[in-house]
Structure 1
Amino acid sequence: MMKPLASATVALLLALLSPSQSSEYEYLNWKVDTFPGSRTYDRPPQCVSIPDDLRLCHGVGYDSMLLPNLLEHETMAEVKQQAGSWVPLLHKSCHPGTQIFLCSLFAPVCLERPVYPCRWLCEMVRDGCAPIMESFGFPWPRMLACEQFPQDEVCISAPNATEASQPNGYSPVCPPCDNEMKTDVILEHMCASEFAIKTKIKEVKRENGDRKVILQKRRRALKTGGLKKKELKKLTLFLKNGADCPCSQLDNLGNTYLIMGRRMDKQYLITGIHKWDKSSKEFKKTIKKLESHKCPAYEKVFK
């Protein structure tokens, strides 16, 4: 029985499973028989370079990937569109194996046959990241159901993946409040959110494990995401599962904030909150970029 393989052995995998050094692999009617329901492709998978703008897989440890990938994305445009929505999760450091797990599917290494992530790696990433995703209103998606991945065969692992991502006793900041003041990070969160507004906060209450955020009347929409004027006027926000975790932004109600969010069921959830800081060059740069920044579409990712 073959033990799970660490990402450091990717080069060894290439040497053992790839009979040639060609940049393209010739497959006939390629199909993954291990997993029921896998598609058969009309054209053989190709080994292509990982583009610079596929940010999810920057520095993952290899430079080329199979296309179509293991999530049935057949074009690079589709890969980039779908992978982009996961980039903000990397900033949360919810598990050290998150990037190698996701990239083994979105941008799999070029091997003679597909090699999937290990089931235990999926389970550990899911267990570390799902609570953070839920705070943003996203469930763990069906396309990443861990039971579909191998546990006794050759599979992709990650170094230190069994280690806890935070030391014991660590009290994490509420995920939507733990945002870096960096232009790229804010724009990524903006794109992954449905709406964004500039406003002040009137009152914060605890309600059923959440924090209910009541806004002042004056508010300006920077991104509406289908939010109508009537809805914006009555908008009340919730910090999902945020009744007890720290959020310094909600402790100072005198500031103006950039608040990003999305609708989940009948609630409007906060996905990011930043102080509207005119003295910050980085924040002013971000606001200026918002005017021309184009976001990829993410609507199909987490269904």
Structure 2
Amino acid sequence: MSASATAALGDLPLDQVRTLLAVVDEGTFDAAAAALHVTPSAVSQRVKALEQRTGRVLLLRTKPVRPTPSGAVLVRLARQVAWLARDAHAELGLSGAGEPVHVSVAVNADSLATWFLGALTRVPRDPPLCFELRREDEDHTAALLREGVVMAAVTSSPDAVPGCSVRPLGRMRYLPVAAPEFAARYLDGPLHRALAEAPVVVFDRRDDFQDGFVRRLGGGHGSASPVRHYVPTSEGFVEAVAAGLGWGMVPEPQAEPLLRSGRLTEPSPGTAVDVPLYWQQWKLDSPALATVAEAVGAAAARALRA
């Protein structure tokens, strides 16, 4: 943890910060009170006292409760304190030592389907770790770090989230591919126009990767066809393209065996897109988090392009 964060913590009552975290995690003041074994009135008073102390509104009183940007800073701080406390207990051999350490990581679906799980299998088993993986697009994983939901993430941003360190992992290469029958039917002609009119497979409604590829071919103009199929899993996405539902941008490790077998074809060789990936994690002196980072970096070096 940074010196500034430690200093800030010294100015804030720990019971109030932990109560704020409980409200966010449990979703309501009543549920947080039950988790903390105090009354809802005590929870409300602690949160109000913390808001008065910081001079900021920290929570949006919605259902479920959500932190404001200022509240997210303190939520992240509270999670870091809890993580360090668990590490300290384990090192001192106090009660609870030997219990698994929970490591929460945000990772994009394509990394999860191709190389990331292999990294976790190489993490030492002592001390025992439990992984909680949050699947999110690489353009949005940094938001989970910023909110304190996860302690590490595979992101596409080289800009470190406050309180985090960042290191490059490598580049994931994507190939524009389609089933041979689909390509013969829809992609015969100028590629930019064909891709803009042919049915397309996309991951979800936030996925603009295929649109961006069409704009790239067209010098910044155009987008993929409005005839689009939403397939929100990496494996399902590849199968949808191979089945001929539409064309799509498929990670090289998934595309190559299907290209070799003839189930997929690449209508525009030489137009692959490389997406740089980065590992961001909390700045904590934690042996457990360090071993995870080392394993992820080694696996990425083997699986991704430099």
Instruction: Tell me the TM-score normalized by structure 1.
Output: 0.25
Instruction: Tell me the TM-score normalized by structure 2.
Output: 0.24
Rg: which structure is higher?
2
Q: Which gives a bigger RCO, structure 1 or 2 (Cα 8 Å, sep 6+)? A: 2
Q: Greater share of helix residues, 1 or 2? A: 2
